[in-house]
Amino acid sequence: MDQISILAIHGPNLNLLGIREPQTYGSTTLAQVNESLQQEAQRLQVGLSCLQSNHEGALVDAIHQAQGKHQGIIINAGAYTHTSVAIRDALAGVAIPTVEVHLSNIYRREEFRHHSYIAAIAIGQISGFGANSYLLGLQALVTHLKSQGN
Ligand code: CA2
């Protein structure tokens, strides 16, 4: 059987991770997040590709291009979580099992962060564990995919 391949998508401003606002988002950089995701993917014996964009359309394009290449998606859509019907529709359209992750606990923050357009079309959501949210998300996604016979 072919190896499972996962796409990790980081949305707007997450390129600033570890550089700005460490009190909210921690001191781990995006490169370090991706490095620990790669290590965890190796341990779980799955492939992993990572991308970051500040542009909604580029994120939609990346989701479309995942078809036929990746069996699962981990996404931190950043602020687009709370605004983007386009990203939700793209994820629903490709029907690739998706886990939504957030560094911060979005339910402990401002009211406008409490609603996610992605949550209802995701397998599940992990929010509030800092950089570890991504690793927990990867573990949950891979466990789900394996349980579905991937
Ligand atoms: O907690 C999360 O992971 C968020 O998705 C992060 C988004 C925010 O809009 C969501 O409500 C929750 C913001 C990402 C911005 O990341 C920065 C990192 C460092 C400095 C400034 C922004």
pLDDT band at 21 (very low <50, low <70, confident <90, very high): confident
The radius of gyration of the chain's CA atoms, rounded to the nearest angstrom, is: 14
Q: Percent of the chain beyond pLDDT 70? A: 99
- Whether 127 shows a pLDDT value over 80: the answer reads yes
- 117 tagged catalytic: no
Contacts of 124 (CB under 8 A, 6+ apart): 99, 100, 140
Q: Percent of the chain beyond pLDDT 90? A: 93
- Whether 1 shows a pLDDT value over 70: the answer reads no
Read off the pLDDT of residues 65-113 as tens digits, 9 standing for 90 and up. Answer: 999 999 999 999 999 999 999 999 999 999 999 999 999 999 999 999 9
CATH H superfamily, domain 5-30+46-147: Dehydroquinase, class II (3.40.50.9100)
Backbone angles phi, psi at 105, to 5 degrees: -85, 100
Nearest CA to ligand 1 atom 5: 78
CA of 110 to the centre of ligand 1 (A): 12
- Pick from 134, 125, 132: nearest CA to 100: 125
Domain ranges of the chain: 5-30+46-147
Read off the pLDDT of residues 28-59 as tens digits, 9 standing for 90 and up. Answer: 999 999 999 999 999 999 999 999 999 999 99
Residue spans of beta strands (DSSP E) within the chain: 5-10, 47-52, 72-76, 98-102, 124-127
CA of 14 to the centre of ligand 1 (A): 6
pLDDT band at 114 (very low <50, low <70, confident <90, very high): very high
Q: Is the dihedral of CA 138, 126, 51, 40 positive or negative?
A: negative
- 80 tagged catalytic: no
Q: Give the predicted TM-score (pTM) of the model.
A: 0.97
- Cα–Cα distance, 64 to 56 (Å, whole number): 13
